[in-house]
Structure 1
Amino acid sequence: MSTPSRRLFMAGAGGTAVAATAGAVPAVAHGRPGGRRVRTGADIAAASGWSTLRGQKVGVITNPTGVTADLRSIVDVMHESGQVDVVGVFGPEHGFRGTAQAGESEGTSVDPRTGITVYDAYGAGPDALTTMFRTAGVETVVFDIQDVGSRFYTYIWTMYTGMRAAHRVGARFVVLDRPNPIGGVARGPMMTEKYTSGVGAEAVVQAHGMTVGEVARYANRHFMDEDEGGRLADLDVVECTGWRRDMLHADTGLHWVMPSPNMPTADTALLYPGTGMFEGTNLSEGRGTTRPFELVGAPYVDHRWAERLERADVPGVLFREAYFTPTFSKHSGAVCGGVQVHITDAAKVDPIRVGVEMLVALRALYPDFAWRQDSWDTARPYWIDKLTGSTRLREMVTAGSSAREVMEAWRSELADFERRRQPVLLYPGPRRAGR
């Protein structure tokens, strides 16, 4: 597929269109022969010689997924170009260079490669991040992280916190956009205000079906007025080229760079909005194995779970009886019975249905099945409620509702979200809501 030598990437709310011309970053040929090749916002911006960032003091929120086509960190490329004055890097969960495990960060330090100060932004609220931006002297904030399309993956909330802090210091906010690896269809239940947290800070559905650029536009339109008393005046999205809403990661021709240690493959990401719910149970979600969120089980589970799930005939997947021993996290060192979820047709996979079917079958089969309770939050002790946005899924599964009944319960709120997100969507293709 030929690539235009010149194009405009369109700004978001309050921004302007910026011309991008061919530059130093090579067009890397990858992906399936004859397949569509997507160019990311980072590649578009780099090809212009970072023209949209020249003359500004830039703070970058990124991690190992923020790379150009040749798989080099955008911070390294910016720094070596001499065209961008990077005054600070702000590391999310797992850190800027990706050395930390789930729920951890790298701390604040000076990056040995570039000499740039890297601030620990994981868990930082708007007040703390505002202080970091002011300390660094940031005039423009750049966000470039590969999201995986799930509300409870923390990077979109790091981005939104960065937007709020940018508003407070009067900074411009630029998103270097990347495809949503699980496509553009919205699915699942809505977050409710009572259950917001770091794994769901605002009212979006469980699988939002948006790129990070679209999430930023949605947040600016629907959340900033209430949270900050006004919207970002200068929000720019450097759009991808070649991406459609019906494309999964395998269709893009892009390399998969692990967004976090327990997200090793694009298949993991596709299942995660559903199997990620097992973090809210007493089963291992596969952390401490080579197939997290694909292997799920516990010492009390036997062959009956896989057999029951196969009878459910869930589109796009097969459930294989599996046994594994996690090396860390839940049930570390113990043999767990369970299933491995195998994807047979990625285009047919509804990850929320996969997760709900698995939960419903477990509750019916095993008296030892339980919801994880967190002693540190006595008012909202069930982690599953924070993951799914309310008590509804937990209560319905506990009461013996079918998977279909559980998923029907959020149909109207999903349709409402679909209507609300339409004005901020940037990319063509099917826009229908899932379940």
Structure 2
Amino acid sequence: MTLSRRNVFQAAGVAAATAAGLAAATPAMAAHGSVLPSTPGGRRIRTGADVAAAGKWRVFSGRKVGIITNPTGVLEDFTSIVDAMVAADVDVRAVFGPEHGFRGTAQAGEAEDTFTDPRTGVTVYDAYGATVAKLTGFYAESGVDTVVFDIRDVGVRFYTYIWTMWTAMQAAAQAGDLRFVVLDRPNPLGGRARGPVLQPGFTSGVGLLEIAQQHGMTVGELALFFNATFMERAGQQRLSDLHVVKAEGWSREMVGPQQADRWIPPSPNMPTPQTATLYPGTGMVEATDWSEGRGTTRPFELVGAPYMDHRLAAALNAKGLPGVEFREAYFTPTFSKNAGTVCAGVQIHILDAEKVDALQVGTHLLVEARRIYPEFAWRGDGGRWIGLLTGSGRFQEQLEAGASAEDIIAAWQPELKKFVSDTRPYLLYGGPRR
């Protein structure tokens, strides 16, 4: 994913629950959305799409459906939900393709043009960067009365498929309160919220609402929170027909490697769960003049610059950060920043994903790099991107003033605590929140 983006198993024995309808999860959610009950049992993860498929897609019975999805929107056997729904005679009127496209044929910063999908005959609209007004027009043109969202998120504010969802929700409200259904998926980072919260004046395509940098929520939970908290502020009526089809077998302490066998890259530079584990922190390297590993096989795990050397790995390993180790590394990106130039830096190896605090890793990384290398520079915009990524000007100000990583991290704790409290009524899954 790029900073310019505007962006967001088949279960047995659940058909009866599906047929029974969608029930509100808690009184706090009842006014703003509802949740398909899940069947308690083992730890096998079943996505919301698989729960809906096991119920023979009855959640969409009699509906004219438009689907926002990409290659991550699959069932347990890796069949696209669009292909499966069309085969099951669900009335799919449209697909809305985000960045990289519905079938995933486009690189970062690109999309597929509007076309007729040759496999299903469904019109696929180019929704990359679409405004509320443009999506509202797509809904009207295609004649849908139900909008479905099914894309794997990676749990980071600036990984913006969630903003595609937010825009689509507003458009559903503006189009006449269409039904909006989220087929929920686990958050590969688990349920712990970390990092600074977006502040007024720093909204952009990589952050539209006041959420934490590592938000610790599923897209279904975010949809409930967005609808209840921000919809009216955005000038829209709250969606009265918002539903979340819950995933099963997942809880908040579960992190990426426990889902590695089901991983589909949600974008070209998010190849593994390990990438996602580090991304909330190493994604901040996007704001600097050094490479974040794009154009290598380990984006966001390899980071460095032509002017760096062995000292960075030594300094970071001396910190003893939990769950990770830093290896001196040299690499030549094939595209993006420093393409064709040998970069020195580190490869971040994950020793224990459950102990990794990516925001801690990323903050120490930037602090040590700036301390060691006088050549350290922002990406040519005076630090604008670090403000948009971290959600305020505070991170840059503290870093440039020589603050320690510990002081920078301490500064966002009060706003993070409030975010955790504010979002608690919308959580659908058990386990630790922080």
**Sequence identity of aligned pairs in percent?**
59
Please give the alpha-carbon distance, in whole angstroms, between the structure 1 residues aligned to 2:238 and 2:340: 49
1:175-231 per-position Cα deviation (integer Å, ceiling 9, x unaligned): 000000010000000111211111101100100000000010110111101003321
Please give the alpha-carbon distance, in whole angstroms, between the structure 2 residues aligned to 1:174 and 1:381: 38
Say whether the 8 Å CA contact 2:86–2:92 is kept in structure 1: yes
Q: CA deviation at 1:78?
A: 0.5
Please give the alpha-carbon distance, in whole angstroms, between the structure 2 residues aligned to 1:17 and 1:354: 36
Indicate which of 147, 161, 167 corresponds to 2:167: 161
Say whether the 8 Å CA contact 1:243–1:252 is kept in structure 2: no
253-262 vs 170-179, which moves further: 253-262
Please give the secondary structure, in 2, of the residue aligned with 1:320.
strand
2:307 is aligned to 300
Please give the alpha-carbon distance, in whole angstroms, between the structure 2 residues aligned to 1:2 and 1:88: 24
Q: CA deviation at 1:382?
A: 1.3
Please give the secondary structure, in 2, of the residue aligned with 1:338.
strand
Change (3 A) 1:19 1:315: closer
1:234 is aligned to 241
Change (3 A) 1:184 1:151: same
1:152 is aligned to 158
Taking the TM superposition and a 5 Å limit, the aligned residue runs for 1:31-430 are: 36-82=43-89, 84-169=90-175, 170-252=177-259, 255-374=262-381, 382-430=384-432
Change (3 A) 1:17 1:189: closer
1:124-180 per-position Cα deviation (integer Å, ceiling 9, x unaligned): 111111111111111000000000000000100000000000001121000000000
Question: Once superposed, what is the RMSD of the aligned Cα atoms?
Answer: 2.0
Please give the alpha-carbon distance, in whole angstroms, between the structure 1 residues aligned to 2:87 and 2:79: 11
The total of aligned residue pairs comes to 414
Please give the alpha-carbon distance, in whole angstroms, between the structure 2 residues aligned to 1:275 and 1:143: 27
Q: CA deviation at 1:2?
A: 13
2:4 is aligned to none
Please give the alpha-carbon distance, in whole angstroms, between the structure 1 residues aligned to 2:310 and 2:422: 43
Structure 2, unaligned stretches of length 5 or more? Answer: 1-8
TM-score (norm 2): 0.92
Please give the secondary structure, in 2, of the residue aligned with 1:71.
coil
Q: CA deviation at 1:105?
A: 1.1
Structure 1, unaligned stretches of length 5 or more? Answer: 22-34, 375-379
Q: CA deviation at 1:251?
A: 2.6
Please give the alpha-carbon distance, in whole angstroms, between the structure 1 residues aligned to 2:51 and 2:291: 41
Change (3 A) 1:407 1:252: same
114-123 vs 58-67, which moves further: 114-123
Say whether the 8 Å CA contact 1:91–1:122 is kept in structure 2: yes
1:358-401 per-position Cα deviation (integer Å, ceiling 9, x unaligned): 00000101111111134xxxxx8611111110111111111111
Q: Are 2:13 and 1:5 aligned?
A: yes
Structure 1 ranges of 4+ moved more than 6 A: none
Please give the alpha-carbon distance, in whole angstroms, between the structure 2 residues aligned to 1:208 and 1:139: 30
Please give the alpha-carbon distance, in whole angstroms, between the structure 2 residues aligned to 1:203 and 1:177: 21
Please give the alpha-carbon distance, in whole angstroms, between the structure 2 residues aligned to 1:2 and 1:16: 21
Change (3 A) 1:284 1:17: closer
Q: CA deviation at 1:20?
A: 8.8
Please give the secondary structure, in 1, of the residue aligned with 2:423.
helix
